[in-house]
Amino acid sequence: MHHIEITDTGITEIGKASVTSPLLNGDGTSHQSFIEEKDRVLVNIRLEEIEADLQKEGPLASFELAGPRRKIYFDSSKLRCALVTCGGLCPGLNDIIRSIVLELYYHYGVRTIYGMRYGLQGFIPKYGHDVMDLEPASVAGILDRGGSILGSSRGPQEIGEIVDCLERMNIGILFMVGGDGTLRAAVKIADEILQRNLKISVVGIPKTIDNDIYMISRSFGFETAVDVSTQAIIGAHNEAAGYPNGIGLIKLMGRHSGFIAATAALAQQDVNFVLIPEVDFDLEGPNGFLAALEKRLALRGHAVIVVAEGAGQKFFENNGGETDESGNIRLSDIGIYLKGAMAKYFKGKGIEVNIKYIDPSYMIRSLPANANDSVFCGFLGRNAVHAGMAGKTKVVIGRWNNHFVHIPMEAATSRRKQVSPTGELWSAVMETTGQLPMKNPA
């Protein structure tokens, strides 16, 4: 991990935490281990990084440790909470919902928890979406279901209308589960709330199957995505090995960051080529991908290729800035393009190939979380509740240096996390696959 430069790790609070936590017994004891505000986790931990930071003025950069506080802001008996899931589906959404509801209900005694239907549309009157009352009975058994019981949607909604709705419903804590775009919207919502001088806490739980949110070392659903991707790799390898000059091509998620493609290739080491957005490659020419693939087929008689959906976008002329409902650039289909380019190349050389193309993306997104992700979601949900009850706002719950911490929303949305072409992960991919840089001399 490279040195992180962060100027402000302070977390905004909507007021003084003066209410004794219901997690405490009457005699002040509890089975909980409470966190003090002074408990912090260093951002940079390598010796040379710490030595460099010590040369600067001020304290070392650190995050607040997540967890329950002895004093909280909200009176549980009078609190209403709202929960919304936004953006694309991702394994673990139902686990997050269940964790938040059970923590609020059983441990803090909150009895009014609203699930907003279909993302941010749920706050806007014109859509007419019903609100779901959430309680333990309504989240029982949802862990075995993929997707989100609340549904989701993409696209921006009027911030003022969202805050108007929160006011009308007398919401005290809003839990927002979503990716980069959702967290940017959450910052605007929290700012509007503060500008109106309302006492509403906004807590974000980062959702990105691509694992590409900055300052978030691991996002929920990522492990499940890698897990299921390995099944696709096994299938592609069996197909490729079963035919003369067989080629198995798998397109995986990864709009801007190739973490799933790279990690899946390491988990199931049948892959010969990994193509990701962060590492440029050429198709044609003596050092290009097609020449490297031809050499592989001549040597071994089959090949397996994993490509992230955002790789190779330079090959398309019409990526002229058209966007989807969430403001993301619409990607051209690199999987179909590669399949056609390979077929044309080998046909021109008179070499017969058998190409099998697999795209498991939407199946992966909508599956239930695996065991590890489910456990991880439980921690994220509980820590989100602890943060909200303590009156923290504009805060994201993340995992950093083996601790759950409070990360300022602005820091998490300041840039995108990507695979470093000179880092440990990509070096391991190069070693495992044996692929070389596929760029021709300029």
Enumerate the known binding-site residues.
88, 154-155, 179-182, 208-210, 253-255, 309, 362-365
Residues belonging to the binding site for Mg(2+) are 180
The DSSP code for 387 is H
Give the residue carrying structure tokens 């083996």.
402
- Backbone phi and psi for residue 406, each to the nearest 5 degrees, phi listed first: -95, 120
The DSSP annotation for 292-344 comes to: HHHHHHHHHSEEEEEEETTTTGGG-TT-SS-B-TTSPBPPP-HHHHHHHHHHH
Q: Which of 148, 215, 206, 85 is nearest to 365 (CA)?
A: 148
How far apart CA 154 and CA 396 sit, in angstroms, is 20
How far apart CA 216 and CA 116 sit, in angstroms, is 25
How far apart CA 431 and CA 204 sit, in angstroms, is 37
Q: Are 131 and 114 in contact (CB under 8 A)?
A: yes
Tell me whether strands 403-408 and 62-65 are parallel, antiparallel or unpaired: antiparallel
Give the residue carrying structure tokens 């260093």.
42
Contacts of 434 (CB under 8 A, 6+ apart): 272
How far apart CA 278 and CA 325 sit, in angstroms, is 24
How far apart CA 242 and CA 219 sit, in angstroms, is 36
List C-alpha distances in Å: 211 to 24, 220, 248, 262, 358: 36, 8, 25, 12, 22
How far apart CA 40 and CA 292 sit, in angstroms, is 49
Q: Point out the residues that are catalytic.
A: 210
Structure tokens at 3: 């040195």
How far apart CA 419 and CA 257 sit, in angstroms, is 6
Residues belonging to the binding site for substrate are 208-210, 253-255, 309, 362-365
- Backbone phi and psi for residue 323, each to the nearest 5 degrees, phi listed first: -120, 160
- Using CA atoms of 45, 51, 55, 58 in order, give the dihedral in degrees to the nearest 10: 30
How far apart CA 227 and CA 86 sit, in angstroms, is 23
Secondary structure class of 72 (helix, strand, coil): strand
- Backbone phi and psi for residue 107, each to the nearest 5 degrees, phi listed first: -100, -30
